[in-house]
Amino acid sequence: MKRRTVFFVILGLVVVLPAAFMLAGRDIPPPDVSDLAVVRPELLPEENAYTYYLAATNELNGLLESKDVLRDYLAGEEVDEEALSDLIEQNGASVAWIRQGNACERCITLEVKDFSTTLPFIRPWLEMGRLLAAKTRHDRLAGRYDEAVNSCVTQLQFADRIQSDAESIIIYLIGVGILDMGLIQAEALFQDAGAPPEERERLADALSSLGSFEPGLVRALKGEFHYAVNCMDYLVDGRMDLYDMLFLGVGKPYPWLKGMPLPGYFFQPNRTKRDFAFFYREAIANAHRLYKDVAWRDSEASRKKETGKPFYFYKPNSMGRTLNLLIIPACQKLVEWKSKAECGVNGARLMAACRAYREREGRLPDQLLDLAPDFLPFVPVDPYDGQPFRYARESGVVYSVGKDLLDSGGSSVVPEGVRQAGISSERWHTEDLVFFVGP
């Protein structure tokens, strides 16, 4: 009797388990992802700012080799003045090309299709941003305010063209990074007592003409989605295998994995694409929200934690979920960068308006509402909590509450234990995000 029972149990396992395995490994129909398509306009080369920005990279003269001079100078450290002046002068042709590119409305770069796509212009563009920031500071300190404003406006427009048409996250971040460097110099010009009012007004007008940061982020997210989808298609048609997927060109310590097929139970491309599409749609929805209203179904930390659970790699579509973790960027940080860019531009505009008000009235405004409509059409809202920017007249500051969403009265203190990096990082780590108007 016992033998018969054991026989039927084994027979049941032999029949049922493969069937269950096949059912669990069955993929879904291809998902509709048409809403995530990236529209690439057809532009003549002379109509595309990218043409001129590439020409600018080809004219670079010693900039990449002397990048530390620019970094030190922008950080306020002493540098060889002659070497700095020579570096700026030697790259005048690159600046001229950037200005030609800024006259175009769009900057349509290379399409980022897969792992093989290279973006060799990324580092040169970032260094050109530093060059323009250094030139602005250099001209301002020498009293050449018209040239300083010219360079600052060039940098702001350069950054705006890059971020607004970004087709990948790295291009978007390069755009907002160049913008951040330019905003630091714009604020210094607004605070400089020697800067003529007409030059500060010209710079304020340039700030007002910058575009929104939402469309560029949305476009970059859609571009990243199609990059991920292309990688999955490569797995399906054999141009990539499990070996490439797991190591992505780094290390590759297990050569026996090379050429190993991906069983349908462990990798279901359509199901993975559907999950990717859900994530990117969620990120796009958050790109349109205030920072306080951003919501995520799953955080990157929770997705990483899942890989450590028992039998994770034996679950259906485990390789698809692993690919999700490897390719999908930390979008929480991306939305935060968008908020920083909006905050930086609007904070600088408020600084300029307050200074212009004081020049006309002989004092700072009692409240920010006094700036509208003569100096600003309206008081911009804080992108973090949706309230109007705060203002402390006695301290001469306007400020945002920042990502902690707490009003600390315009505090520029960096909380203990907060890690900083880079020349522009301090503001984004202080208790409030403060813009100094002056007494």
Q: Are residues 377 and 310 in the same domain?
A: no
Q: Are residues 311 and 226 in the same domain?
A: yes
pLDDT at 427: 75
**Residue 178 resides in a domain:** no
Q: Are residues 393 and 323 in the same domain?
A: no
Q: Are residues 325 and 362 in the same domain?
A: no
Q: Are residues 363 and 288 in the same domain?
A: no
Terminal Cα distance for the chain, rounded:
96
Residue 392 host element (H or E): strand 390-392
Q: Are residues 257 and 317 in the same domain?
A: yes
pLDDT at 19: 43
Q: Are residues 247 and 300 in the same domain?
A: yes
Gap between the Cα atoms of 374 and 430, Å rounded: 31
Query: Which range marks the domain in which residue 393 is found?
Result: 358-439
Q: Are 316 and 24 in contact (CB under 8 A)?
A: yes
Name the CA dihedral angle for 232, 236, 237, 238, rounded to a multiple of 10 degrees: 90
* Helices 214-237, 269-287: crossing angle, 10 deg rounding: 170
By residue count, the chain amounts to: 439
Domain boundary among 313, 329, 345: 329
**Residue 394 resides in a domain:** yes
**Residue 205 resides in a domain:** no
Q: Are 69 and 80 in contact (CB under 8 A)?
A: yes
pLDDT at 9: 45
Q: Are 286 and 295 in contact (CB under 8 A)?
A: yes
Three-state DSSP at 371 gives helix
Cis peptide before 383 (omega within 30 of 0): no
**Sign of the alpha-carbon dihedral angle for 248, 163, 87, 74:** negative
Question: Is 215 exposed, middle or buried (CB count within 10 Å of its CB: 0-12, 13-18, 19+)?
Answer: middle
**Residue 90 resides in a domain:** no
Domain boundary among 276, 308, 329: 329
| pLDDT tens profile 352-402 | 999 999 999 999 999 999 999 999 999 999 999 999 999 999 999 999 999
Q: Are residues 306 and 400 in the same domain?
A: no
pLDDT at 248: 52
Q: Are residues 289 and 376 in the same domain?
A: no
Gap between the Cα atoms of 116 and 104, Å rounded: 29
Q: Are residues 313 and 240 in the same domain?
A: yes
**Residue 378 resides in a domain:** yes
What b/e sequence results for 98-124 when a residue is b if at least 16 CB atoms lie within 10 Å of its CB, and e otherwise?
Answer: bbebbebeebbbeebeebeeeeebbeb
pLDDT at 312: 65
3-state SS, one letter per residue, for 75-89: CCCCCCHHHHHHHHH
**Sign of the alpha-carbon dihedral angle for 406, 408, 411, 417:** negative
pLDDT at 62: 85
pLDDT at 428: 85
Query: Starting at the edge strand that comes first in sequence, how are the strands of the sheet with 397-400 ordered?
Result: 390-392, 397-400, 433-436
Domain boundary among 329, 348, 378: 329
DSSP structure class, residue 119: -
Q: Are residues 316 and 376 in the same domain?
A: no
With a cut of 50, list the residues of the chain below it in pLDDT: 6-9, 11-23, 249-251, 253, 256, 422-423
pLDDT at 325: 74
pLDDT at 8: 42
Q: Are 57 and 101 in contact (CB under 8 A)?
A: no
Three-state DSSP at 200 gives helix
Indicate the number of domains in the chain.
2
Q: Are 125 and 174 in contact (CB under 8 A)?
A: yes
Gap between the Cα atoms of 352 and 187, Å rounded: 8
Q: Are residues 373 and 318 in the same domain?
A: no
Q: Copy the structure tokens of residue 295.
A: 């919501």
**Sign of the alpha-carbon dihedral angle for 375, 438, 185, 348:** negative
CB count, 10 Å around CB of 346? Answer: 21
Gap between the Cα atoms of 242 and 319, Å rounded: 9
| pLDDT tens profile 37-85 | 999 999 999 999 999 999 999 999 888 787 789 999 998 999 999 999 9
**Residue 392 resides in a domain:** yes
Q: Distance of alpha carbon 66 from its chain centroid, rounded?
A: 25
* Helices 214-237, 331-361: crossing angle, 10 deg rounding: 160
